[in-house]
Amino acid sequence: MVAREGRSSSDATARRLNQAGPPSGGPRLSRAGLLLAVSLVMLLGCAKTPWVDRTVITEDVNGVWLGSMAGPDGQPMANGQVRLELQQRASKVTGSVYSSSSSWLGSSGRPSLSIEGSMADDVFTFRDDRSILSGELTVNGDAMTGRGFMGGRPVTFTLRRIEMASSVVPR
């Protein structure tokens, strides 16, 4: 009878274990740990670096650029040539705009418009603080072309670099 009780109590224990399943902390803890690990990896993957670190700059606009601005009909928007003197540090660009005859852009070599902008890849985007002149130009070595606005009117820019930054003398 003792042997029979031993077998029946071990059978009862086995049945209880099979019905209850594994200990409560086992797989649930593993699933929770796995879920936590996956969540952390995903969050770290979504963490963003500062925008300056993400900006790819493939062109340099430092220097003096000379060219023209034309309206949609191809007619010059500023009589004479337009001159941009630009300084670039990382993606930030500052400078001045001059024109040989336009009162909006400064005459007699005096700047009337200071501009600020940025470089991203090969695109130079700028505007002045009075919102008179703005543009988005594609840079290709010593040439820049693109579209913008002068006094609210659409313009097309065509510029060539005539001096590198090391030789630029502020006016």
Domain that includes residue 71, residue range: 63-166
| Residue 25 domain flag | yes
pTM of the model: 0.63
- Are 69 and 19 found together in one domain? no
Amino acid at 8: S
Structurally, the chain folds into a number of domains equal to: 2
CA dihedral sign, ordered 148, 151, 154, 157:
negative
Question: For residues 75 and 35, what is the distance between their CA atoms, to the nearest angstrom?
Answer: 65
In a domain, 6, yes or no: yes
Tokens of 4: 């029979």
How confident is the model over 45-57, as pLDDT tens digits?
A: 665 555 544 567 8
- Predicted local confidence at residue 68, as pLDDT: 93
Residue 28 is assigned to a structural domain of this protein: yes
**Which CATH number fits the domain that encloses residue 107?**
2.40.128.20
With respect to residue 57, please indicate whether it lies within any of the assigned structural domains: no
pLDDT band at 39 (very low <50, low <70, confident <90, very high): confident
Reading the block at residue 14, the tokens are: 């086995």
Residue 52 resides in a domain? no
What is the pLDDT, as a whole number, of residue 17? Answer: 54
